[in-house]
Amino acid sequence: MKKQNGFTVIEVIVVMALIAIVAATAIPAFTVWLPNYRLRAATNDLYANMQLAKSGAVRDHGEWAVQFDTVNNGYGLISKWGEVGQTIVKTVDLSDYGSGVAFGHGNATDDVPDGANPISDDVTYGSDVAVFNMRGTCSAGYVYLENSRNNTFAVGSLSSGAVRMRRWSGSTWE
């Protein structure tokens, strides 16, 4: 008698049932994870763009700025800030990240600098612009980003020009 290769109907049904069980448990976890992943990506990009503005200002011996537009939910990276011929190097629309990523302080109750004051604004830079000078320094300020789950990150600079990123843990900034 000739031996036949292949799967039985029962084997196929068992494998399909296992795949369905794994998918049923993975999808809820994925829907919780995805908004936080997108917020983290937006925060990392903002951090990198602020570093780019800082290094561009030092390299060009001029001023670079990150101009925040909270009304349209985006920001722009601008070289030669305040000069004739200033150039928009990059624009970012936070809604492109999805999951409700936007300017906002979510569930954070205290500001970043000392954690003792309530958050007064989503962008604490004067005129919503962080300007880096040729020494790489910038006025102190922060930008708060939130997602649809009200999780919050803050990206900002100290007066020394150091760029920092912080996450609200639910009771304190980390």
| pLDDT tens column, 61-112 | 999 999 999 999 999 999 999 898 899 999 999 999 988 999 999 999 888 8
pLDDT of residue 143: 95
- The answer to whether 117 and 106 are in contact (CB under 8 A) is no
Q: How far apart are CA 145 and CA 91, in angstroms?
A: 16
Tell me the pLDDT band of 114, cut-offs 50, 70 and 90.
Answer: low
Of 92, 87, 78, residue with least CA distance to 43: 92
Q: What pLDDT does residue 118 have?
A: 73
Strands (E), the chain: 64-69, 74-79, 87-93, 102-103, 129-132, 141-146, 152-157, 163-167
Average pLDDT of 47-58?
A: 96
Global pTM? 0.82
The proportion of the chain whose per-residue pLDDT surpasses 90, expressed as a percent, equals 64
Write out the CATH class of domain 9-167: alpha beta
Mean of the per-residue pLDDT values of the chain: 90
- Confidence band, pLDDT 50/70/90 cuts, at residue 44: very high
Rounded to a whole number, what is the distance in angstroms from the first to the last CA of the chain?
71
Amino acid symbol at 80: K
Residue pLDDT, tens place only, 143-167: 999 999 999 999 999 888 899 999 9
List the one residue out of 174, 120, 122 whose CA is nearest residue 144.
122
What sign for the dihedral angle of Cα 139, 81, 126, 151? negative
The domain ranges of the chain are 9-167
CA dist list (Å): 61 to 48, 54, 107, 129:
20, 11, 40, 19
* 3-state helix/strand/coil string of 26-60: HHHHHHHHHHHHHHHHHHHHHHHHHHHHHHHHHHH
How many whole angstroms separate alpha carbon 26 and alpha carbon 141? 39
